[in-house]
């Protein structure tokens, strides 16, 4: 029996074992397999391991998406986690390209994936509070939000959870250096049923420019006097 003689249910099951690139390659062989590739039921889970993957044409975004994971661990991506005021022009240009890619992708998720249940973002240095706010507003069924080493995430995201995270059951904000203890305490107060984890976040050094630190130090000295 040729693979194209299988019914659609069987073909969807076979496709589900393949990664995104393999699915795309197989879909190019005939119209029937292309139709299976384009079936929204095939795309309930997506995993990405680099910014470049977000721009490929080997996946579909749609209402069927339930589980999304974007985890970047490469050495090049670590540049994005450096404080903005410490980056040189080359690094800033590199990061701007990543920022546009991430923002455009997450905006598509907001607009096209209202049934998202779980979102994991790890090492995504360009994800902002505004992005998470839009996701919480548009994906009202979101139950799990895991943020790890997302350096631009602040207490504004925690505030957005209290306002729009009505379905949220699990919240991780690990190694997010601009999260404060005050923000975490507010989450525990306003959302007592949410399982909260914040490994190291409130104990890390936040992003302050040296000038600001010097001003704060001088202010403290004046108060002491």
Is pLDDT of 192 > 60? yes
Band of residue 173 on the pLDDT scale cut at 50, 70, 90: very high
pLDDT of residue 221: 46
- What mean pLDDT comes out for the span 4-17? 93
Tell me which of 3.10.450.50, 3.90.1580.10, 3.40.50.300, 3.80.10.10 is the CATH number of domain 43-206: 3.80.10.10
List Cα–Cα distances, 103 to 49, 51, 59, 107, 114, in angstroms: 16, 11, 18, 6, 17
Q: Where are the domains positioned within the chain?
A: 1-42, 43-206
- Comparing 6 with 223, the larger pLDDT belongs to 6
pLDDT of residue 208: 63
Distance CA 103, CA 35 (A): 29
Question: Side by side, which strands form the sheet with 144-148?
Answer: 45-48, 67-71, 118-122, 144-148, 170-174, 195-197
CATH architecture type of domain 1-42: Up-down Bundle (1.20)
pLDDT of residue 87: 66
- Is 0.85 surpassed by the pTM of this model? no
- Comparing 218 with 88, the larger pLDDT belongs to 88
- What mean pLDDT comes out for the span 52-57? 89
């Amino acid at each position: 029996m040729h693979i194209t003689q299988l019914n659609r249910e069987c073909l969807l099951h076979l496709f589900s074992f393949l990664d995104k690139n393999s699915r795309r390659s197989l879909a190019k062989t005939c119209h029937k397999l292309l139709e299976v590739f384009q079936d929204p039921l095939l795309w309930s889970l997506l995993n990405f391991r680099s910014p470049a993957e977000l721009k490929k044409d080997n996946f579909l975004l749609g209402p069927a998406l339930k589980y999304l994971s974007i985890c970047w661990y490469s050495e090049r991506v670590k540049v994005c986690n450096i404080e903005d005021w410490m980056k040189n022009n080359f690094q800033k240009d590199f990061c701007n390209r990543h920022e546009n890619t991430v923002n455009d992708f997450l905006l598509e998720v907001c607009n096209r994936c209202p049934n998202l249940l779980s979102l994991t973002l790890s090492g995504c240095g360009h994800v902002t509070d505004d992005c998470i706010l839009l996701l919480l507003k548009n994906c009202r069924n979101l139950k799990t939000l895991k943020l790890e080493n997302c350096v631009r995430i602040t207490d504004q995201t925690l505030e957005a959870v209290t306002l729009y995270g009505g379905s949220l059951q699990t919240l991780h904000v690990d190694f997010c250096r601009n999260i404060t203890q005050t923000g975490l305490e507010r989450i525990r107060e306003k959302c007592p049923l949410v399982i909260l984890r914040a490994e190291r976040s409130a104990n890390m050094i936040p992003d302050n420019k040296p000038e600001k630190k010097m001003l704060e130090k001088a202010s403290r000295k004046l108060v002491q006097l």
